[in-house]
Amino acid sequence: MESVISELEGTLLKDPHVFSYFMLIAFEASGLIRFALLLSLWPVIRLLEALGRENDGFKLTIFVATAGVPLSEIEAVARAVLPKFYLDDINMEAWRVFSSCDKRVVVTKMPRIMLERFVKEHLRADDVIGTELSTNRFGLVTGFVKDDFGSIAKSVAVLFGDEEEPCLGLGRPNSGCGPLFLPLCKEQCHPPFAANKKHDHHIIRPLPVIFHDGRLVKRPTPSTALLILLWIPLGVLLAVIRITVGLMLPMWATRHVAPLLGGRVVVKGNPPPRPSGSTSGVLFVCTHRTLMDPVVLSTVLRRRIPAVTYSISRLSEILSPIPTVRLTRIRDVDAQKIKRQLEKGDLVVCPEGTTCREPFLLRFSALFAELTDQIVPVAMNYRVGFFHATTARGWKGMDPIFFFMNPRPIYEVTFLNQLPAEATCSSGKSPHDVANYVQRILAATLGFECTNFTRKDKYRVLAGNDGIVSSQTSSELVDTLKKLVGSFMLH
């Protein structure tokens, strides 16, 4: 059995500097003050590295980013936020070599808790060797590591025990973790990695990140973090102005004023004409990217169209310029509510039941297909520069504010043709067939992938609950993660 040990930073990850990942820990697990404090110490950390005291600089980074933070909070950020940024920085040439071996081990100077889930679930590694954070009896991180970085070589030796030495070592020979474990390997391979046909038949793509949380769009490198900090005061002011103007203006005027405030709405396809003489309204079935989906749709159609909601915050309801219909998740009750609303006019529904940031569509609830045959699919997507407008772990009431804090938020609205009668339940099709068909055509329009994952799956991965209650057994979380891995092992 071939075995490989690979360094993470500078090898499996293209960037040898991991400071930005600690900036993410500081921002998501603690807040803006710690984020700014860690950034202010960046020159000191770089100076220590320049003086050959890299380990001291690294220890300072760990201390400032984690001291006093609950260990459970760091684990939550590592589960919900970091994997997306790790995956975006993967060195695919190194991954080809790494994935070609049977036994795979990752070595890093970073705290193991920050990357263990990503490395095992997405890179399919067998073991992770890293530093361990010290905690006090209250579960708070002290900011110190339990062992010195030199113990990594000892951990590698213990892991392999009396077995033969590792077949292959991937890493930088003169920096990072390379000198600590490369001498223990039969063969060494250093970056950059050339393409090798020997490994092509082994390659399986890393498991993609479907569920992602956190507010920051870009990995906060020092320059990006500084730009974010400088923008936040202006962004808050801009968000207040945009929201105020949006609430005061009539719906038909909002789309024309948006470009003056930096926003933009791109419309593709032909919006359906305003209904006349119909006994039932049109049901607009949308992909769910942010809470702004129904609002943007209403501005495009120039009329206030009610939207069904599940669990948005009261603040979002207050700020909403369109009517909202709160559902109960009791199927019969919700069906009656939707029917009554359709009798009054048009309605917007997002059958995924929750937002998804990545290019995937979650499973569509089939309820909408049972209630009407006048179905117009609408593909919604958005682009932002600094802040995400969705959250699973944070306060949802801030979602619209974070959306409008972006310098140039862009929404794309693509209208598809109304479903023909033969594609609806009136022709004898089952509601699930209709829902799956709508999901497929919307995914094809956006270039997304369809999945069978649900709202509960999302919240179990990102928040450790089902989105309704605040607790969940660890076995349920493991089952969800296994479901994720199993699905994409088939691709």
Q: Can the peptide bond before residue 431 be classed as cis, meaning omega within 30 degrees of 0? A: no
pLDDT of residue 317: 77
For residues 472 and 465, is the Cβ–Cβ distance under 8 A?
yes
Same domain, 255 and 198: no
> Model confidence over 232-243: pLDDT tens digits?
999 999 999 999
pLDDT of residue 465: 76
Same domain, 186 and 284: no
CA dihedral 97, 100, 101, 106 (to 10 degrees): 50
Same domain, 265 and 183: no
For 380, the domain range is: 229-453
Q: Is residue 296 part of a domain?
A: yes
Q: Is residue 50 part of a domain?
A: yes
pLDDT of residue 275: 64
How crowded is the C-beta side of 174, counted as CA atoms within 13 Å?
Answer: 1
pLDDT of residue 160: 75
Residue 91: give its domain's CATH number: 3.40.50
For residues 327 and 308, is the Cβ–Cβ distance under 8 A?
yes
Same domain, 274 and 161: no
Identify any residues that bridge with 284 across adjacent strands, giving them in sequence order. Answer: 348, 376
Q: Is residue 214 part of a domain?
A: no
Same domain, 130 and 267: no
Identify any residues that bridge with 70 across adjacent strands, giving them in sequence order. Answer: 140
**CA distances (Å), origin 93, targets 96, 100, 182, 288:** 5, 11, 19, 35
Q: Is residue 480 part of a domain?
A: no
pLDDT of residue 21: 97
- Report whether pLDDT(266) > 90: yes
Same domain, 190 and 282: no
Q: Of 1, 19, 18, 22, which is closest to residue 10 (Cα–Cα)? A: 18
> Model confidence over 48-75: pLDDT tens digits?
988 888 889 999 999 999 999 999 999 9
What does the pLDDT average to over 271-277?
A: 73
3-state secondary structure of 99: helix
Q: Is residue 314 part of a domain?
A: yes
Q: Per the structure, how many domains does the chain have?
A: 2
> Model confidence over 159-193: pLDDT tens digits?
777 666 778 889 888 887 877 888 888 888 888 87
Work out the pLDDT band at 273, boundaries 50, 70, 90: confident
Instruction: Return d(Cα 86, Cα 224) in angstroms, integer.
Output: 17
Q: Is residue 213 part of a domain?
A: no
Same domain, 316 and 189: no
Residue 234: give its domain's CATH number: 3.40.1130
Instruction: Return d(Cα 364, Cα 377) in angstroms, integer.
Output: 12
Work out the pLDDT band at 488, boundaries 50, 70, 90: very low
Which of 200-204, 256-260, 374-378, 459-463 bottoms out in mean pLDDT, i.e. has the lowest? 200-204
Same domain, 325 and 192: no
What does the pLDDT average to over 410-428?
A: 93
Which tokens is 279 given?
């006994």
Q: Is residue 65 part of a domain?
A: yes
DSSP calls for 362-421: PPPPSHHHHH-S-EEEEEEEEE-SSB-S--SSS-GGGHHHHHHTSSS-EEEEEEPPPPPG
Same domain, 348 and 420: yes
Instruction: Return d(Cα 403, Cα 262) in angstroms, integer.
Output: 12
Same domain, 174 and 279: no
Instruction: Return d(Cα 480, Cα 361) in angstroms, integer.
Output: 17
CA dihedral 93, 94, 95, 97 (to 10 degrees): 90
Same domain, 11 and 56: yes
Q: Find tokens 């960046």 and name the residue.
A: 42
For helices 19-29 and 54-66, angle between their N-to-C axes, nearest 10 degrees: 10
> Model confidence over 380-402: pLDDT tens digits?
999 999 999 999 988 888 898 99
Which of 139-148, 171-180, 321-330, 416-425 bottoms out in mean pLDDT, i.e. has the lowest? 171-180
What does the pLDDT average to over 12-36?
A: 95
What does the pLDDT average to over 25-42?
A: 96
pLDDT of residue 284: 96
Q: Which of 202, 217, 248 is the last residue of a domain?
A: 202
- Report whether pLDDT(366) > 50: yes
pTM above 0.95, yes or no: no
pLDDT of residue 13: 94
Same domain, 303 and 174: no
User: For the chain, how are helix, strand and coil distributed in percent, rounded to 5?
Assistant: 45, 15, 40
Average pLDDT, the chain: 87
Q: Is residue 467 part of a domain?
A: no
**CA distances (Å), origin 390, targets 118, 150, 288:** 22, 41, 10
Q: Which of 161, 186, 202 is the last residue of a domain?
A: 202
